[in-house]
Amino acid sequence: MHSTRLIQGTVILFLWSSLAFAQPYRDNLPIPSLEINRNLLSYAQAKNFEKISRTLPVVKSLTDTLKTKFGSDVESELQSALGSQDQGRVLKAVQHLVYLDLKDLMNLSVEMMGESTDKAKAKIRAAFLNYYLLSPFIQAVNFTADQRIKKNFRTVTLTLDASVMVAGSEGTIKRLIDEIDKEIVTPLAFSK
């Protein structure tokens, strides 16, 4: 009887932890958000606004969730920019989407640190890869900021890679993620 309760408790704990880390708005995307973001930036740079318009329904669950989490209606921002046919506005709106996506990934990484270091590492790496999409734009405005952001991402990744996180690691990671966030926003000149 005791072993049955233990098994039931373990199953419930496993299901709960799986749900706690589930992100259906990401899991339901046909391809990873990194690929979508890469394509959107490419389309914006090529002035291929039609492809961006066709991609918006694909990322609707992501943009809706980002709006809920961060209060930024990036979908409306993209639609407005597309309506203007202004390449600069479209590019800025796509950059904003990439930024919010990587900010969400960084936040998910922090949430997962206490429960699953492997999942936290996967999210911070995905955020870092998304940052590489924004890096050329930030370098053009502030090369030093770009280098600090990359250094902070590497430090977070190495800290998470440590086999046993030492006391204070979690606080250091949170501080570095906050610094990364602030460093990205300034050169791209949009609000958090």
pLDDT in tens, 90-123: 999 999 999 999 999 999 999 988 788 888 999 9
Distance CA(119)–CA(59), nearest Å, equals 22
Nearest CA to 107 out of 16, 23, 18, 30 is that of: 23
pLDDT at 28: 84
188: how many CB neighbours lie within 10 A of its CB? 17
pLDDT at 36: 96
Give the pTM: 0.84
Question: How many structural domains compose the chain?
Answer: 1
186: how many CB neighbours lie within 10 A of its CB? 12
192: how many CB neighbours lie within 10 A of its CB? 12
**Residue range of the domain that includes 98:** 2-188
Nearest CA to 153 out of 164, 161, 165, 142 is that of: 161
The 10s digit of each residue's pLDDT in 120-134 is: 999 999 999 999 999
